[in-house]
Amino acid sequence: MNIAHFDLNSPHTFIIAELSANHGQSLDIAKQTIRAAKKAGADAIKLQTYTADTLTINCDKEDFVVKGGTLWDNKTLYALYEEAYTPWEWHEALFACAKEEGLLCFSTPFDKRAVDFLESFNPPAYKIASFEITDYALVRYVASKKRPIIISTGIATLEEIEDVVRICKEEGNEEIVLLQCTSSYPAPLEDANLLMIPELQKRFGVIAGFSDHTLGLTAPVMAVALGAKVIEKHFILDKSIGGADASFSLDVEAFSAMVHAVREAEKLRGEVSYPNEPNTIKGRQFSRSLYVTKAIQKGEVFTEENIRSIRPGYGLHPKYLGEILGKRASKNLSKGERATKEMLD
């Protein structure tokens, strides 16, 4: 599966820098952030395409006031989204900036109108946010565009994940990436549940990844070790910009360190390989093998005194020691000579 030119089946993890609300309502800061994301090692920049009115209504009844110990408690949903949204009139400039930097750029649409708007930019993929996974009509509409669809599973039940995967396939779209995600901001490490990454891949037969809201670098690195092919992390130019997502976003230095650590984890992950040819295994020469450890005359019996399993590993495999002991030498043998089957009488 590819997202534009990026092969998700390659050893290289697809790293997405999430711009989200980290622009302080400044187009210039948003552009600077995209350029910084490229320098920090991201493969893509992701936007969010909504307005306060497409997400909710302007209402201060209790249901519409954020609570529950979040970063945004006591704000109305409308006020929060009005502060955090990325102006739609910026999108053309942001897509262009990303292209100039060699970054892939796509977005999370939050309603059908946003999808139609984003189609004009020919995005390489779409993202379904964790809180929108239950909006089956939106998922179906996005899937119908036949572009790779990345879905965060944050608040979803197993049945809901099964439903959205089925919906995508019903629309003829099997280019699906499921991201393990904990929809807490920030997310405690003990709630990351990274073992879900190989589980999602195995159960649904899709590419799996991780949308990270934890603090620090450990979670994305471990996610890659567990098989994540996509990492999404909130990115901010400088935390002094503030905003709805600043506290759990990585700045330039931290994001660069994460990318470096992820690239090292890719190398550490390696591949499943059982070599068939011993001489192709690096360091094999330092293993044990059978050697003559005391001069032996022709016709003399091999004993534990004159043939042993020792280093280095150029001689006969130690598994043959039992076959050799008690047999007679076919010729004179000197100390330090490699044991071979031909030396048997």
> What is the chain's pLDDT, residue by residue, as a tens digit (345 residues)?
999 999 999 999 999 999 999 999 999 999 999 999 999 999 999 999 999 999 999 999 999 999 987 778 889 999 999 989 999 999 999 999 999 999 999 999 999 999 999 999 999 999 999 999 999 999 999 999 999 999 999 899 999 999 999 999 999 999 999 999 998 888 899 999 999 999 999 999 999 999 999 998 999 999 999 999 999 999 999 999 988 888 889 999 999 999 999 999 999 998 888 888 888 888 999 999 999 999 999 999 999 999 999 999 999 999 999 999 999 999 999 999 999 999 987
In whole angstroms, how far apart are CA 114 and each of 111, 126, 146, 269? 5, 11, 16, 38
Residue of 157, 149, 154 lying closest to 174 (CA atoms): 149
Fold of 278-343: Type Iii Antifreeze Protein Isoform Hplc 12 (3.90.1210)
pLDDT at position 278 is: 84
Task: Judge whether 242 and 262 are in contact, CB under 8 Å.
Answer: no
Residue of 159, 108, 168, 165 lying closest to 132 (CA atoms): 108
Cα distance from N-terminal residue to C-terminal residue, the chain: 61
Establish whether domains 10-50+85-269 and 278-343 are of one fold.
Answer: no
CA distance 199 to 197: 5
Residue of 288, 326, 323, 287 lying closest to 306 (CA atoms): 326
The answer regarding whether domain 10-50+85-269 maps to CATH 3.20.20.70 reads yes
C-alpha angle 125-135-106 in degrees, rounded to nearest 5? 20
In whole angstroms, how far apart are CA 264 and each of 87, 180, 196? 37, 21, 22
Phi, psi of 139 (to 5 degrees): -60, -45
Close Cβ partners of 176 (under 8 Å, ≥ 6 residues apart): 148, 149, 151, 165, 168, 169, 204, 206, 207
Residue spans per domain, the chain: 10-50+85-269, 278-343
In whole angstroms, how far apart are CA 77 and each of 53, 203, 340? 10, 35, 79
| Residue corresponding to tokens 């976003």 | 249
Residue of 164, 94, 168 lying closest to 130 (CA atoms): 164
- Give the DSSP letter of residue 34: H
pLDDT at position 244 is: 80
pLDDT at position 243 is: 82
Beta bridge mates, 232: 16, 211
CA distance 14 to 125: 13
pLDDT at position 208 is: 98
String of b and e for 309-321 (b: at least 16 CB within 10 Å)?
Answer: beeebebbebebb
